Amino acid sequence: MEKLSRKLISWASLIDDKTLEQARTTATMPFIHPHLALMPDAHLGKGATVGSVIPTLGAIIPAAVGVDIGCGMIAVRTQFTRAQLESRDLSRLRNQIERAVPTSAGGQNRKIVATAEPRIAELEDLAAEAEFDPASYAGHWRHQLGSLGSGNHFIEVSVDEADRVWMFLHSGSRGIGNKIAMHHIKVATRLNKQWWIELPDPDLAYLVEGTDEFTAYIRQLRWAQHFALLNREEMMDRVARQVSEVMGEDVVEAERINCHHNFTQSEEHFGKTVWVSRKGAIQADEGRPGLIPGSMGTASYVVTGKGDPVSLNSSPHGAGRQYSRSKARKTFTRDQLREAMVGIEYRDTDAFIDEIPQAYKPIDQVMADAAPLVEIRHTLRQLVNVKGD
């Protein structure tokens, strides 16, 4: 841990100057209390740094929550062993998962399946309570539930240090969450201009607690966060069905963890009730289970929070990018990706070059930096990897 200023504390041993500058700028906002906490996976983001924990008094910066509201991880430990899994056709399993879960940007379901119906009904009721119509943002939002997306979103079948099989996936609130986020970022920008507020960065536009605009954002944010959680549950149920079919028996869940890493909620810290925006960070209260994925082809971790108060009970959410997607495509090759993915069943395509492990910080270093924040319970190594283009 390093105290960079009165309002900025960092756990990142690997960080570039632009990211540091962005974090310093965000930390100057007058309503930050007590300080911004920079996680080990911190890297440049829109408005605020990805991998930062931003506690605010009486205001929220929508861009500091992130445009994939509620993005996070879910993992399920099964009764199967590595030997049992590897005795099956892993390419068949990957193909079945890819058929069961729509992937890629814009991917959605052709029909609403039985498992999605009660989840959609729950979201319809929640939207009515929040006094908004999700269809005003995306008319097809119901068909997005149970879809993965692209970029660093993934589905994996992995094994832990005891050779127990886990199902593990990463996704968020899809297109509907993005549209909600972008709308409220624009509202905050308009209001800040209307109020003649000078910002150090236009993307740090904020909403003030007590206004109608703030209330609308919080209601819709919470809806999108719940959509993201249910989206992961729906996909996990589908993955479990495919694993059951390939293994010849139903999955028996020994453990299930579902956690956000792009979200805001009200919490008590340092004697104040603050809005804590975790943009690329997970909540790590003492004893709280959490999930920290590595990059494609590397390890992921099941962790327990240590409740470090200076970090605002937080920890990193993953490896954190070191190369932009465009720079990664210019720097690395498909052969290098193949080398990184030896022993892992995945779809061999140029589309994933920008997800190569070398484009990210080494997850081992990120976890070493995070040692004061979380305890590692399990280390997962993937055997099957599913991603969208």
Q: What is the mean pLDDT of residues 32-61?
A: 96
pLDDT (average), residues 212-221 = 98
Question: What pLDDT, on a 0 to 100 scale, did the predictor assign at position 106?
Answer: 82
Query: Judging by DSSP bridges, how do beta strands 255-260 and 72-81 pair with one another?
Result: antiparallel
What was the pLDDT predicted at 151?
Answer: 87
Residue 186: domain span: 2-387
Written as six digits, the tokens of 87 are 């005795």
Look up the CATH number of the domain holding residue 183.
3.90.1860.10
Element (H, E) at 226: helix 212-247
pLDDT number for residue 47: 79
Q: What is the average pLDDT score of the chain?
A: 96
User: For the segment 150-177, what is each residue's pLDDT rounded down to a tens digit?
Assistant: 888 999 999 999 999 999 999 999 999 9
Return the pLDDT at 27. 97
What pLDDT score does 46 carry?
84
Q: Which of 35, 170, 184, 317 is catalytic?
A: 317
At 222, the pLDDT band (50, 70, 90 cuts) reads very high
Q: How far apart are CA 129 and CA 126, in angstroms?
A: 5
Q: For the segment 247-303, what is each residue's pLDDT rounded down to a tens digit?
A: 999 999 999 999 999 999 999 999 999 999 999 999 999 999 999 999 888 999 999
Q: Examine the residue annotation and report whether 184 is marked as an active-site residue of this protein.
A: no
Total number of domains in the chain: 1
Confidence band, pLDDT 50/70/90 cuts, at residue 240: very high
Find all residues with CB under 8 Å of 342, minimum gap 6, and list them. Answer: none
pTM of the model as a whole:
0.96
Percent of the chain with pLDDT over 70: 100
- The distance of Cα 28 from the centroid of its chain, to the nearest Å, equals 26
For residue 105, pLDDT over 90 is answered with no
